[in-house]
Amino acid sequence: MRGATGRLEPVVAEPQRSRTEEWTLRNYPYVLAAAACAGLAAANAFRGSGAVVVVLAVAPALACAFAADPLLRVGLLSVALATCGWWWGSARLEAIDSSVLVGRVGEAGLAVAVVTGPARGGEFDLRVPARLIRFGDIRLGEPVLLDLPVGRSPPQGAIIALDARVRLPRTAAEGFDERTWLRRHGVHVVLLGRDWRIVGRRGGIGGYADRVRAWLARGVAPGLSGERRAILEGIVLGEDEGLTPELRTSFRASGLYHLLAVSGQNVIFVAAAVLGLAWLLRVPRWLGELGALGGIASYVLAVGAQPSVIRAGIAGALGSLAWLSARQRDRWHFLLVGALVLLAWSPYNLLDPGFQLSFAAVVAIFVAVPKAKEFFAGYPLPRGLPEVLAVSLACGIATAPILWLQFGRIPVYSVPANALAAPVVAPLLGLSFAAAFAAPISPAGASLIAHVNGWCAAYLAGCARVVGGLPGATVSSWPAATSLLLLSSFAAGAVYLNLRRR
């Protein structure tokens, strides 16, 4: 080839890259985000701090500036981000594991605490999450678990004063390993309390979240009681305290218990309701997107820090921001950002069953559902049923190992159970939010909507009882669970190979 001087110059051929290298260069934002998540997660296995970590993070970052090969730059930057994530995760775990009250175990005194969540009633006591702001003569802000006598429970957001004694949580030798479970949530002690009284209410963002939650609790099921109200509150607010032990067991055995955890579908309904209201009022779309952001944030604050709702809230917020900034929407990008935020806040989230189940289900929906829909498309099924079966099958296979490792049992009939429940889940959510919005304007109209919605709740309870009561509804022995997992993996592989051949 002739150059600018007219002389022949050698042609430098571009190096041939493998498919993996080409994918890495084309999708480097995913690679960098995944590297940061991996570093944060690694802090759970071993922690690092000090000058060594700084050197390990700075050296690849500096080398990246002088690297000529794009692939090498991506690799060096990934190492730097992973190391930074490891350092940050280690620092966060050290902060979460620190406790002032551990040194006061066995002491008793006057305590003042802010109730941060709904009480869970047991046979002999009430378990109430709280933040202790004063104990005796010291002021602090440490999360604790209150153990109160059976009876009335303090409402969320209340500031209560009580006589309390500090003790350590139970260990695995006493049955459930409460100490490890609570430590991963930043709670290190249990306060045995009595004679509590309300002395105030919290304000700020927490007080706003309390008011939104109270509004939803009043509005989703006005005029209903019993299990119908409990199911509606469970699906909208993520509470299962109102369910009887028998019904709670049926939901678990049938594979429908995930409906009682707030999910991305709830966030979609909140955003859609705000955008629909903006369309009816003829306000500009950008104002509706800002309203959707506010609605998503309010709902996430109201239902609490559950991994599934935070992930869905981040995805919904990024979707609105993408529209406002005229950027493309990328579901994998949203998923990785959600994981990054959750792990940066607490790397212990990686060990939480809700985190594992939520992200495993979403990855299965992204990866396996299109193939599963293609498989079911060849059968004479009613419209919409192939997608329901595809989602249920993909999520059931993806979450089965996690359910076994975390809870020691696997629901066998989760696919038909979810197929039976699917027709009423969306109407139930829509009617619940419609009742909540209508309650301040027309209490009678909200009550009518809630009574209609009660039939949807009753249908869900019936599905849970029928499917959960079938013979062999759950697998809880090692041989049976291993056989079921191997059979599911073999079936998924056979379906995939068959579709590839076609």
Has residue 164 been placed in a domain? yes
24 and 55 within one domain: yes
Q: Are 460 and 256 in contact (CB under 8 A)?
A: yes
Considering its fold, how many domains does the chain have in total?
Answer: 2
Has residue 289 been placed in a domain? no
154 and 140 within one domain: yes
77 and 154 within one domain: no
30 and 83 within one domain: yes
Q: Final residue of a domain: which of 202, 232, 248?
A: 202
- Nearest CA to 413 among 441, 392, 385, 443? 392
- Nearest CA to 210 among 262, 162, 164, 154? 154
Is residue 363 helix, strand or coil?
helix
The pLDDT tens digits of the residues spanning 229-260 come to: 888 888 888 777 778 888 888 888 888 888 88
Element (H, E) at 191: strand 190-201
109 and 167 within one domain: yes
Q: What are phi and psi of 52, to 5 degrees?
A: -65, -45
Q: Final residue of a domain: which of 79, 97, 115?
A: 97
CATH number of the domain that residue 144 is part of? 2.40.50
184 and 113 within one domain: yes
The more confident residue out of 148 and 323 is 148
Has residue 237 been placed in a domain? no
The pLDDT tens digits of the residues spanning 370-403 come to: 877 777 776 777 777 778 888 888 888 888 888 8
The pLDDT tens digits of the residues spanning 426-451 come to: 888 888 888 888 888 888 888 999 89
121 and 81 within one domain: no
Has residue 159 been placed in a domain? yes
Range of the domain at 193: 101-202
Q: How far, in Å, CA of 27 to CA of 457, rounded?
A: 44
Q: Is the pTM of this model over 0.85?
A: no
107 and 89 within one domain: no
For residue 113, what are the CA distances in angstroms to 106, 120, 132, 377, 495?
Answer: 18, 17, 4, 56, 55
The pLDDT tens digits of the residues spanning 458-484 come to: 999 999 999 988 888 787 766 655 665
140 and 79 within one domain: no
Has residue 123 been placed in a domain? yes
Q: Final residue of a domain: which of 69, 97, 125?
A: 97
Has residue 447 been placed in a domain? no
Is residue 344 helix, strand or coil?
helix
Has residue 291 been placed in a domain? no
56 and 123 within one domain: no
Has residue 150 been placed in a domain? yes
Q: What pLDDT, on a 0 to 100 scale, did the predictor assign at position 12? A: 47
84 and 65 within one domain: yes
Lowest-pLDDT range of 3-17, 48-62, 287-301 = 3-17
84 and 150 within one domain: no
